Amino acid sequence: MSDPTPEQIRWQLAAMSRRRFLGRSGLALGGLALGPSLLAACGGDDGGGGGGGASAADFTPTTSDSLRISNWPYYIDEETVGLFEEASGLSVTYTEDIPDNEEYFARIREPLSRNQDVGADLFIVTDFLVARLIGLGWLAPLDDANIPNKGNLVDSLSDVGYDPDRRYSLPWFSGFTAIAYNPDLTGREITSINDLFDPEFAGRVTLFSDLRDGLGLVMLSDGNSPAEASLETVQAAVDKVAAAKDAGQIRRFTGNDYGDDFVAGNVAVTQAYSGDVATLKLDNPALEFVVPEEGMLTFADNMVMPLSTANSTGAEEWMNYIYDPANAARINTTAQFISPVEGVGELLPPELADNPLVNPPDDFRAAAVTWRALSDEEDQQYSALYADVARA
Amino acid sequence: MSSTDTTLAPAEGQDAIREGFAPTPLLRRLGGFFLNAYAAMVLFYLFLPVAVIVAFSFNDPVGKFNFVWKGFSLDAWRDPFKYPALADALVESLKVAAVATFIAVVLGSLIAIALVRHRFRGSGSIDLFLVIPLTSPEVVLGASLLTLFLDFGWNLGFRTIVLAHVMFQISFVALTVKARLRGFDWSLEDAAMDLGANPTRTFLRVTLPLIVPGIVAAAMLSFALSLDDFIITLFTAGSTLTYPLFVNNAAKTALPPQVNVLATMILVGSLLAIGLGSAWNRWRTRGQVL
Amino acid sequence: MAGTAAAGTRRRITPYLLSLPALAYLAVFFVVPLWTLVRTSLSTSTGSVYDPTLEFNWEFANYSDAFSRYDTQIVRSFWYALAATLLALVLAYPLAYVLAFKSGRWKNALLGLVILPFFITFILRTLAWKTIFADDSIVTSFFELLGLTTNGRILSTQWAVIGGLTYNFLPFMILPIYVSIEKIDPRLLEAARDLYAGGTRTFRKVLLPLSLPGVIAGSLLTFIPAAGDFVNAQYLGGVNQAMVGTVIQSQFLVVKDYPMAAALSAVLMIIILVAVLIYTRVLGTEDLV
């Protein structure tokens, strides 16, 4: 073989040094090279950012052939999504990834503030969060023309302080927040929120760690209504809970997971949500939900669209579908809360239609209170006061 | 050591140097037995919740809760994939864990080797620096990472989850591999090179095999870490659901027995893999004195 | 011979090259978020409550605030983490020893078994413990007979939380100790025995020093995450078991006092680092770990 040409020598030298270099840190380079390409190959890019408008005022409708819905767990039946897909031709991704309002808000806050995609075209959160989002201007207005069934909304929910005329939200389900107890452990009937503070049940009581649900009920037990909440009444309730905590009255502050201890028989009296009762009773038929003499709270979870929604027409079509009483009734048989759709009561099976927690008569609704709208500063201040007791 | 006397007896005229309690053979056997029993007890402790989870996959699903034993039922086993989102989330988690663990093991092992094998300026600071990710609370770190990803303009999903996981896995890997490397006899490398092996060959044939147990242990830990991570994943996942995200979300309300069924299936699958690996290993080393 | 100079240079830059990938990665995906954390901890929150602007103004008051308001939780977290680490050490060491020296062919299988429970998510394991330790379960009644319960229960007490922490971090203690022990030449232990050293002496003078790197690594990998944990306290603890992590979580998510959450996080991190430095100095290792 003839002498190598200069090019060949250069190539060989390069090859040799490369080999040596690779020998030592080959693994590292390999990792670096493989890593990103692996990620790129596997990475599924979600739908693009920058939605239908920078603010509610100049929001332009968007449409696509897919619809992404985020909701709480166990809030829907098994057929509706499929049936809706058939009826609308849309491909629906229904994710149950909202276990807690504040957790969800913490996740979507950054993207929403930059008008970027939040992973959902429609999501369902509780009224106070809806109020906050409306105040921040991060929600897309509803086009009533696409939601003719909107008229089926029950009167009591059609005009709320945080969203007059329901421009941004439509209720999904509402419910009551009150007390539940285990007669086998209490030995007697429970009728009052103050029974939570009965020393007889020391260490076997749970309260909600949430400001509105947890502290709201305690305020009612003091005879103060959250509808007229003030710093004084809030502080009084906080002090009451703090004293009970120090005295060992309270076992635990819970979120939606109050059911664990309650069903297992670790807890005698607890704050509870009305829609959970039916399922709680399946595990322990003795458990009872109580409408206390001091009154109870009501809440509503609402469907809303973020400004960055990728399919506002699809979302509105979904809302319209839900507000058809037949569909609403179907969902209601599984998610046994209170439907906001008029006419559902007649379509429910008898045991649900007769259940005042699912199909409440008017005096029930009247006994229930909601918090007055709080300013952002008040919200934070009250939350901080209660969090120092319930979450610290 | 081929003398007839198998113990080192003291020289003539010297007292036996008895340090501490020298047990008789029986006591030593007993001690050994207790040691094994203790280890078995720890393993039992590790598997106690697992046993409960498997048992409750056979629970009769009455309500939404699966804490109280209602009755034996195979219902959940007849329909284990009733919740497709659950299976999808599991697959997603496995994919994330596999990719993230690979990257973290590579990066972490390299830096562990650098820190132990070589003395260089800055090694002390790097040592300290590697500990810091372990100390950071996940919630704040997760939120800051979210901001970072959004600043980059990235979409949240598989890529961001993997990147977030690798970030905290590196420290775990580095610490575990370093523990293996400490006290390592580096003269073995020199010996190999004296015998003509070049650096690469030495690394691959001498060094690497000796530190592999450390790397494998680090990989196992990282994989488990990634599979289990909740908070950081919560912030960086966007709408992608990983297994812990799904289960944690559902658990706030109720957990169907299908979750237990899938967990049992993972368990059985892994046990089979371990068993097969072990059997293969034994076949491979048959006849060898270990 | 030719090439020693080159070999010398290669020797000198090799550690930097090896460290570079990990450091570069952490520089982007850890240091930057960490810097955000530090900046936030020294800022004040102004403007909208839920979409605040953070003004950086060296607000060290955040730190003293965090420390004074939540000192109970800080001390509690360190106590729980310490207890869990000690318990884990006591449980892990003998198992690691048995795995390394006495398991023969079953070594890898047993190793796999150690990590296997952790392929089931944390929440399932924790809920299983809640079932096992339910107020009226056999196990709890047994402990009640021994007088080890508070108010007749184990859940919602500090020992439930410590137990949860111990359990969940046990593999992080077992595996590093295992890899460290496994490296020891068993003949060293035999030699010690032949030289009339009893069991404890062998352990103290031979086994422990040689396995110390593993013990240190395991302790760090257990203590550090345990101190910042909050999920165990959330599920297994009651009203008086809240840890620093719980407070950070609530300050961040619920109260949205981002500077406070960041400052508390920084306080936690600094204290842990100081504790780690003292720990490794006391144990006499020449460098940090």
Superfamily of domain A175-298+375-390: Periplasmic binding protein-like II (3.40.190.10)
Question: Domain A66-168+305-323 is of which CATH architecture?
Answer: 3-Layer(aba) Sandwich (3.40)
Q: Do C21 and A253 touch (CB under 8 A)?
A: no
Task: Dig out the tokens for A312 from the structure.
Answer: 């506002």
| A198 touches A365 (CB < 8 A) | no
**Which of C119, C172, C228 lies at the smallest CB-CB distance from B135?**
C228
Give dist(CA A302, CA A133) in Å, integer: 12
The pLDDT, as a whole number, for residue C4 is 58
3-state secondary structure of B241: coil
pLDDT tens, position by position, A213-225: 999 999 999 999 9
Q: In the predicted model, what is the mean pLDDT of residues A276-302?
A: 89
Tell me the count of B-C CB pairs closer than 8 A. Answer: 319
Helical (H) or strand (E) element with B284 = helix B257-284
Q: Which residues of chain B have pLDDT under 70?
A: 1-23, 63-64, 253, 288-290
Q: Which domains does chain B have, with CATH numbers?
A: 85-184+213-250 (1.10.3720.10)
Strand partners, A175: A299
Q: How far is B195 from chain A (nearest CA, A)?
A: 19
Question: Residue A48 above 60 pLDDT?
Answer: no
Give me the residues of C, 67-106, that contact B with CB < 8 A: 91-92, 94-95, 97-99, 102, 104-106
Q: How far is C117 from chain B (nearest CA, A)?
A: 6
**Which of A39, A95, A119 lies at the smallest CB-CB distance from B156?**
A119
| C88 touches C162 (CB < 8 A) | no
Tell me the count of A-C CB pairs closer than 8 A. Answer: 90
Strand partners, A252: A206
B neighbours by CB contacts (3+ pairs under 8 Å): A, C
The pLDDT, as a whole number, for residue B270 is 84
Query: At a CB cut-off of 8 Å and minimum separation 6, what does B50 contact?
Result: B267, C116, C117, C120, C125, C128
Give dist(CA B4, CA B94) in Å, integer: 59
The pLDDT, as a whole number, for residue C283 is 78
> Residue type at B264?
T
Q: In the predicted model, what is the mean pLDDT of residues A187-215?
A: 94
The pLDDT, as a whole number, for residue B50 is 94
When comparing pLDDT for A186 and A256, which is higher? Answer: A186
In 3D space, the residue among A42, C18, C28, A34 whose CA is nearest the CA of residue B107 turns out to be C18
* C52 shares contact with chain B (CB less than 8 Å): no
Q: Do B20 and C199 touch (CB under 8 A)?
A: yes
pTM of the predicted structure, to 2 decimals: 0.85
- Ramachandran quadrant class, C256 (left: phi over 0; alpha: psi -120 to 50; beta: rest): left
pLDDT tens, position by position, C252-268: 889 989 999 999 999 99
Q: Do B123 and C287 touch (CB under 8 A)?
A: yes
Q: Do A282 and B163 touch (CB under 8 A)?
A: no
Mapped to the 3 state alphabet, what secondary structure does A84-117 carry?
HHHHHCCEEEEECCCCCHHHHHHHHHHHHHCCCC
In 3D space, the residue among A232, A142, A205, A127 whose CA is nearest the CA of residue A173 turns out to be A127
The chain C residue lying nearest B16, using CA atoms, is C196
The pLDDT, as a whole number, for residue A107 is 87
Give dist(CA B161, CA B157) in Å, integer: 6
When comparing pLDDT for B88 and A29, which is higher? Answer: B88
In 3D space, the residue among A203, A129, A147 whose CA is nearest the CA of residue A321 turns out to be A147
Give me the residues of B, 8-47, that contact A with CB < 8 A: none
User: Mutating which of B141, B147, B150, B155 best tests the A interface, going by the most A Cβ atoms within 10 A?
Assistant: B155
> Residue type at A56?
A
Give me the residues of A, 141-200, that contact B with CB < 8 A: none
Q: How far is B245 from chain A (nearest CA, A)?
A: 8
Residues C131, C135, C138: CA angle, nearest 5 degrees: 70
Q: Do C70 and A32 touch (CB under 8 A)?
A: no
Q: ipTM value of the model?
A: 0.87
Task: Dig out the tokens for A275 from the structure.
Answer: 């829609």
pLDDT tens, position by position, B63-116: 667 777 778 888 888 888 878 888 889 899 999 999 999 999 999 999 999 998
pLDDT tens, position by position, A352-387: 898 888 888 887 777 789 999 899 999 999 999 999
**Residue linked to tokens 């670790």:** A266
- Ramachandran quadrant class, B13 (left: phi over 0; alpha: psi -120 to 50; beta: rest): left
The pLDDT, as a whole number, for residue C264 is 93
> Which CATH class name applies to C63-282?
mainly alpha
Strand partners, A160: A163
Q: How far is C150 from chain B (nearest CA, A)?
A: 22
Give me the residues of C, 206-265, that contact B with CB < 8 A: 210, 213-214, 216-218, 220-221, 224-225, 227-228, 231, 244-245, 248-249, 252-253, 261-262, 265
The pLDDT, as a whole number, for residue B129 is 92
**Phi (first) and psi of residue C5, to 5 degrees:** -60, -45
Question: Which chain A residues are within 8 Å of C254, Cβ to Cβ?
Answer: 102, 211, 383, 387, 391
The pLDDT, as a whole number, for residue B128 is 87
* B114 shares contact with chain C (CB less than 8 Å): yes
Give me the residues of C, 21-50, that contact B with CB < 8 A: 21-23, 25-26, 29-30, 32-34, 36-37
User: Does A175-298+375-390 match A66-168+305-323 at the fold level?
Assistant: yes
**Ordered per-residue pLDDT tens for chain C, 289 residues:** 445 566 666 667 888 988 999 999 999 999 999 999 999 999 999 888 888 888 999 999 999 999 999 999 999 999 999 999 999 999 999 999 999 998 887 888 898 899 889 888 888 899 899 989 988 888 999 998 888 888 888 898 999 999 999 999 999 999 999 999 988 888 888 888 788 777 777 888 888 888 998 999 999 999 999 999 988 999 999 999 999 999 998 998 899 899 999 999 999 999 999 998 888 888 765 454 4
Give dist(CA C187, CA C194) in Å, integer: 10
Give dist(CA C232, CA C126) in Å, integer: 8
pLDDT band per the 50, 70, 90 thresholds, residue A283: confident
**Which of B109, B234, B250 lies at the smallest CB-CB distance from A73?**
B250
Q: Do C242 and A391 touch (CB under 8 A)?
A: yes
pLDDT band per the 50, 70, 90 thresholds, residue A12: very low
The chain A residue lying nearest C250, using CA atoms, is A391
Domain ranges of chain A: 66-168+305-323, 175-298+375-390
Q: In the predicted model, what is the mean pLDDT of residues A11-25?
A: 37
Question: Which chain A residues are within 8 Å of B198, Cβ to Cβ?
Answer: 23
To the nearest whole percent, how much of chain A has pLDDT over 90? 62
The pLDDT, as a whole number, for residue B49 is 94
Task: Dig out the tokens for B27 from the structure.
Answer: 């006591």
Give dist(CA B68, CA B60) in Å, integer: 10
| A301 touches A157 (CB < 8 A) | no
* B98 shares contact with chain A (CB less than 8 Å): no
* C268 shares contact with chain B (CB less than 8 Å): yes
Extract long-range pairs of A89-93: CB within 8 Å, 24+ residues apart: A89/A65, A90/A65, A90/A66, A90/A311, A90/A314, A90/A317, A91/A65, A91/A66, A91/A67, A92/A66, A92/A67, A92/A68, A92/A318, A93/A66, A93/A67, A93/A68, A93/A69, A93/B239
* B221 shares contact with chain C (CB less than 8 Å): yes
Average pLDDT, chain A: 85
* C148 shares contact with chain B (CB less than 8 Å): no
pLDDT band per the 50, 70, 90 thresholds, residue A10: very low
Give dist(CA A376, CA C49) in Å, integer: 6
User: Mutating which of C9, C26, C222, C255 best tests the B interface, going by the most B Cβ atoms within 10 A?
Assistant: C26
Mapped to the 3 state alphabet, what secondary structure does A155-184 carry?
HHHHCECCEHHHCCEEEEEEEEEEEEECHH
Question: Which chain C residues are within 8 Å of A245, Cβ to Cβ?
Answer: 239-240
* B115 shares contact with chain A (CB less than 8 Å): no
